[in-house]
C-alpha cells in the first residue's frame, strides 16, 4: 500500500521539473541572444573597417599561402578578411535562396525553442541561446549586407578569425563570433542530450 500511495506523489513531482520558464527567464535568454548578436555584428564591422583602412594597419603580412592577415598571437591566430557565400567550412553547393530560406526558418524555430525550453533541462537552454544567436548573426549578413558578386541577391557572411596550424601547414576555415556561438552551442546540445537524466517515472513493476 505504501508503494502504491507514493506513485501519485512521484508523478506529481515530474512535471514540476519540466515546467515552462517564467517570463523573466525568457527575457534573460533573449537578452543574452541580443548581446551575442550585437557582439558578432560589432566585431565584424570593427575588424573589417580596420583591416580595410588605407593605408592598412602596420603588421599586416602575407603568409606562405598568400593570405593577407594580421597576426594576433604568433603565427597561429590572426585576423583575415573573408566573405563566405555559403555554409560553414566553405560548403557552397546549395542555391543561395535555399540556404537563406533555411536560415530564416531555423532562426524562427530556434526562437520558439528558446522561449519554450522547460526549466530543468540543464544546459539545453544555454545551447539553444548560443545557436540562435549565431544563426541570427550570420543571417543578418545575408539579408542586410550588399551583395559582392554580380547577380547575387543576398550578402555574404563576414569571417575574420583565422587559425593557422603551422606544424600541419593548414588553415582552419576562417570563422566569426556567430560561428563560434553555433559550434559551442552544438557541443553543449550534444552534452546536454547525453548527460540530462531521463524523466521517466520509476514505477515498481507489478
Catalytic-labelled residue, pool 40, 159, 162, 202: 159
Q: Which residues in 10-140 belong to E strands, given as ranges? A: 61-62, 68-73, 77-84
Geometric angle at alpha carbon 30, from 122 and 123, rounded to 5°:
10
Which residue in 30, 20, 25, 21 sits closest to 132, CA to CA?
A: 30
Does 162 participate in catalysis according to the annotation?
no
Q: How far is Cα 135 from Cα 116, in angstroms, rounded to an integer?
A: 18
Task: Give the strand pairing for 61-62 and 68-73.
Answer: antiparallel
DSSP string, 2-41: HHHHHHHHHHHHHHHHTPPPPHHHHHHHHHHHHHHHHHHH
Active site annotation includes 40:
no
State the residue for C-alpha cell 526558418: 105
- Marked catalytic residue, from 40, 141, 162, 179: 179
Supply the residues annotated as catalytic.
159, 179
Amino acid at each position: 500500500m505504501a508503494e502504491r500511495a507514493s506513485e501519485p506523489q512521484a508523478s506529481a513531482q515530474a512535471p514540476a521539473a519540466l515546467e515552462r520558464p517564467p517570463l523573466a527567464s525568457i527575457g534573460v535568454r533573449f537578452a543574452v541572444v541580443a548581446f551575442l548578436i550585437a557582439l558578432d555584428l560589432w566585431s565584424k564591422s570593427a575588424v573589417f573597417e580596420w583591416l580595410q583602412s588605407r593605408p592598412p594597419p602596420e603588421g599586416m603580412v602575407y603568409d606562405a599561402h598568400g593570405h593577407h592577415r594580421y597576426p594576433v598571437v604568433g603565427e597561429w591566430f590572426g585576423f583575415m578578411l573573408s566573405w563566405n557565400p555559403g555554409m560553414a567550412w566553405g560548403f557552397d553547393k546549395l542555391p543561395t535562396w535555399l540556404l537563406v530560406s533555411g536560415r530564416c526558418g531555423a532562426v524562427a524555430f530556434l526562437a520558439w525553442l528558446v522561449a519554450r525550453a522547460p526549466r530543468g533541462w540543464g544546459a539545453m537552454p544555454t545551447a539553444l541561446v548560443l545557436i540562435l544567436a549565431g544563426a541570427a548573426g550570420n543571417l543578418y549578413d545575408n539579408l542586410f549586407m550588399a551583395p559582392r558578386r554580380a547577380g547575387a541577391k543576398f550578402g555574404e557572411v563576414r569571417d575574420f578569425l583565422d587559425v593557422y596550424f603551422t606544424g600541419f601547414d593548414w588553415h582552419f576555415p576562417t570563422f566569426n563570433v556567430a560561428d563560434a556561438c553555433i559550434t559551442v552551442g552544438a557541443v553543449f546540445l550534444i552534452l546536454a542530450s547525453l548527460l540530462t537524466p531521463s524523466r521517466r517515472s520509476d514505477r515498481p513493476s507489478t
